[in-house]
């Protein structure tokens, strides 16, 4: 006889194992809060923007061809920003206790489509370090690109400034705790339905009639010793 799981059965399983589900939900939420507070290092971000414009010796009137040329240079400039030619000088100038490759992993360079503005984002455990690195990267890049490509079309549009009381971008306690609560609830539900699926015992008269399709003629009472 084919069994189907209806809403009533689902609610019954949840009700029967509600304490387990609640305990696992709270346990995983508390675990996520503990990991976030004590095991995860806060990370801060600083952003600086550089503008790729036309060269100073170009004509005052800007045409579409010059704009397109500047847009094509943006991708090249993004590679130069994270190249050893720039980052080696940044490490040396700021006397950073890290390698160039490690610094490159802290830097993200992007720009909006069809935009001549490049955003340099630096992530670090200290907000002041993130700000200093972002500004130094922009300054060194501006100097290096003039030497390497013999152009003078890069200017710093917005220096990095984290402010007096910056907030870390990660970890995010509320999100982590919410994820922990959800995972705990899902695990509790999974265990509850697995136990219900594996439990083949018949415990009530209704279950006997449902699964065996036989009438119940009588029951034996349970006496406490």
22 to 25, 31, 35, 48, 125: CA distances (angstroms) = 5, 14, 20, 46, 36
| For residue 184, pLDDT beyond 70 | yes
Select from 74, 141, 73 the least CA-distant residue to 107.
141
Quick one: pLDDT at residue 5?
63
User: Over the chain, what is the mean pLDDT?
Assistant: 85
Rg (the chain; Cα; Å): 32
Q: What is the chain's length?
A: 225
pLDDT bucket at 90, cuts 50 / 70 / 90: very high
Quick one: pLDDT at residue 55?
54
Structure tokens at 151: 């152009």
| For residue 125, pLDDT beyond 50 | yes
Comparing 52-61, 119-128, 174-183, the range with the smallest average pLDDT is: 52-61
Better-scored residue on pLDDT, 133 or 206? 133
Name the percent of the chain lying above pLDDT 70.
80
Question: Could you tell me the domains of the chain?
Answer: 7-39+171-212 (no CATH), 44-158 (3.30.70.1130)
| For residue 113, pLDDT beyond 80 | no
Better-scored residue on pLDDT, 198 or 81? 81
10 to 5, 59, 70, 159: CA distances (angstroms) = 7, 75, 62, 58
Which stretches of the chain are DSSP H helices?
7-16, 18-34, 64-81, 84-94, 100-105, 127-149, 173-198, 205-212
Q: What is the mean pLDDT of residues 21-46?
A: 95
| For residue 207, pLDDT beyond 80 | no
Phi, psi of 60 (to 5 degrees): -65, -30
Quick one: pLDDT at residue 176?
96
| For residue 129, pLDDT beyond 80 | yes
pLDDT bucket at 200, cuts 50 / 70 / 90: confident
55-81 pLDDT, tens per residue?
Answer: 555 444 455 666 666 667 788 888 899
Give yes or no for a contact between 55 and 150, defined as CB atoms under 8 angstroms apart: no
Name the percent of the chain lying above pLDDT 90.
58
Q: What is the mean pLDDT of residues 91-114?
A: 91
Quick one: pLDDT at residue 1?
42
5-33 pLDDT, tens per residue?
Answer: 678 888 988 999 999 999 999 999 999 99
Quick one: pLDDT at residue 60?
44
Structure tokens at 195: 């136990």
């Amino acid at each position: 006889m084919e069994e189907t799981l209806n809403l009533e059965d689902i609610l019954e399983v949840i009700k029967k194992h509600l304490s387990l589900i609640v305990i696992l939900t709270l346990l995983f939420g508390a675990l996520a809060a503990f990991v976030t507070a004590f095991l995860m290092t806060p990370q801060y971000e600083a952003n600086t923007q550089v503008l790729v414009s036309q060269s100073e010796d170009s004509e005052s009137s800007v045409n579409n061809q010059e704009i397109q040329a500047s847009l094509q240079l943006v991708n090249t400039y993004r590679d130069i920003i994270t190249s050893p030619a720039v980052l080696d000088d940044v490490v040396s100038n700021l006397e950073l206790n890290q390698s160039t490759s490690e610094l490159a992993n802290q830097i993200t360079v992007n720009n909006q489509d069809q935009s001549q503005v490049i955003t340099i984002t630096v992530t670090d455990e200290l907000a002041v370090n993130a700000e200093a690195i972002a500004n130094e990267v922009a300054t060194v890049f501006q100097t290096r690109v003039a030497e390497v490509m013999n152009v003078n079309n890069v200017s710093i549009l917005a220096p990095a400034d984290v402010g007096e009381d910056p907030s870390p971008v990660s970890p995010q306690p509320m999100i982590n705790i919410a994820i922990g609560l959800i995972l705990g609830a899902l695990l509790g539900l999974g265990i509850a339905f697995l136990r219900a699926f594996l439990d083949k015992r018949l415990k009530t008269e209704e279950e006997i009639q449902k699964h065996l399709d036989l009438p119940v003629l009588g029951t034996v009472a349970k006496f406490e010793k």
